[in-house]
Amino acid sequence: MRGGLTRRMVVASGLLALVIATAFAVLLSAVSELRTLESRARASEEVLVVANRLERLVVDLETGQRGFVITGQDRFLQPWREAQVALPAQASNLEQLVADNPQQRARAQRISQAITSYVQDYSIPLVRRARKDPRAARSVAATDEGGRRTDAIRTEFDQFVTTERGLAAERQERSDVDAGRAVMAAATGLAGSILLIVLFAGYLTRAIVKPIRAVAAMAGRLAGGDLSVRVPERGVAEIGILERSFNTMAESLQQSRRELAASRTRIVAAGDLARRRIERNLHDGIQQRLVSLVLDLRSTEAAMPPQLPELRAQIAEVADNLTGSLEELRQISRGIHPAVLSDGGLSPAIKALARRSAVPVQLDLDVQRRLPEPIEVAAYYVVSEALANTAKHARASIAHVELRAADGRLQLLVSDDGVGGASNDDGSGLVGLTDRVEALGGTILVDSPLGKGTRLEVDLPIDLGRDTST
């Protein structure tokens, strides 16, 4: 799948990792540079300490020899001797510390050579001369040469220290720059990471979380029976496939419901047609033959001679039994499909039901026209079954039937003041009524609390041509 979620996640994660890695690389580089500069700064401090110590030894050397030349006392030679012993090691140490800097190393070598020359060529001979001829050691020539040599050494020291301090200042400046760069890198990396994380979270929310929530909400509405719900197909990659799959599934379920509703409607219509055909066949066939037989028997009974009273009584009994059977057949025929419903419509048929009901019925009928036959049949059987259940189980004193046809809907209400407790889960005829009503796209509601009577509400669409699948 080109541009799939996995690829997008890998790219986004790679960008985030790249930004973070770059920021840390710059930060680590800056930290390493800072450590190097810090090490060099410590080295510069040590160089300055050693240079200062070496210069102090030269001062001690000069002070000792001068005191001895002036006073002739050997006690002044003690620091002089100690300075001679320490000078070579300190000079060598100074050269090693600046070995990585050719300019400073050259100055350190010149300082070392100048100090060695001062000691070998001037200081030691001066002390020897002072032992032999103190006056000659204190001459102007000797003093001037000593001053010149000392000034040269101090000049070298000053240049060396000035240069080393300049290097230290330069390193400190570079250290400050690197520290600022490290801080900038850390801040940039942190800001970039936060920005990418926010963008990544926003992308995940827009591309995954919101579509998934929309699909979850759609699934909930589908589970609740709303098959008309759809989600916009704006998702990418697998999310888009998921949205399209859910919409396809909803469309398939909706089409299946339409086909099921149409099938149930056809089954109900076929059943009604079959009952009407049976009722017509009974009325036009066997009922007419039975009526003819009853008339023939009555004629035969009237023609029997008086001397045969027993035979006449038998014929009369047969005619009475046949008349009773004919009446029972008419009752069965009316139960199969009432002729009054086909001939007069819903209101007269319900009035006929009310007249035959064992429980008094109050009627409130407001239907001004004939309705589609399936609607009239369904409403008729609802009233018939409700009144039959009231008479058999409700122990009610009165029943009410209200019928309204308005705004393309038929509203039917059947209620009583009986004991209640009715349910369409107890195997009663309410199950069949529910199937019939729902097959026509209607709804049926039974409210029957114990001791508070039963209330049956039915809502049917009058226009069966509209889509009743949703």
Per-residue pLDDT reduced to its tens digit, 294-314:
788 778 878 878 877 888 788
Could you tell me if residue 251 is inside a domain? Answer: no
Domain assignment of residue 166, given as a range: 5-205
Could you tell me if residue 439 is inside a domain? Answer: no
Could you tell me if residue 443 is inside a domain? Answer: no
Could you tell me if residue 351 is inside a domain? Answer: no
Quick one: pLDDT at residue 466?
A: 47
The residues, any chain, with a CB within 8 Å of residue 231's CB and separated by 6 or more, are 211, 214, 215, 218, 243, 246, 247
Could you tell me if residue 393 is inside a domain? Answer: no
How confident is the model over 62-111, as pLDDT tens digits? 888 888 888 888 888 898 889 889 989 988 998 898 888 888 889 889 89
d(CA 179, CA 173): 10
Could you tell me if residue 244 is inside a domain? Answer: no
Quick one: pLDDT at residue 413?
A: 94
Q: CB 168: neighbour CB atoms within 10 A? A: 17
Could you tell me if residue 444 is inside a domain? Answer: no
The CATH number covering residue 54 comes to 1.20.120.1730
Helix locations, 287-338, DSSP H: 287-303, 309-336
Q: How many domains does the chain have?
A: 1
Could you tell me if residue 79 is inside a domain? Answer: yes
Spatial strand order of the sheet with 361-366 comes to 361-366, 399-406, 409-416, 454-461, 443-447
Helix locations, 337-464, DSSP H: 339-344, 346-356, 373-389, 430-439
Quick one: pLDDT at residue 362?
A: 93
pTM of the model: 0.45
Q: Is 425 helix (H, G, I), strand (E, B) or coil?
A: coil
Quick one: pLDDT at residue 284?
A: 60
Under-50 pLDDT residues of the chain? 1, 466-470
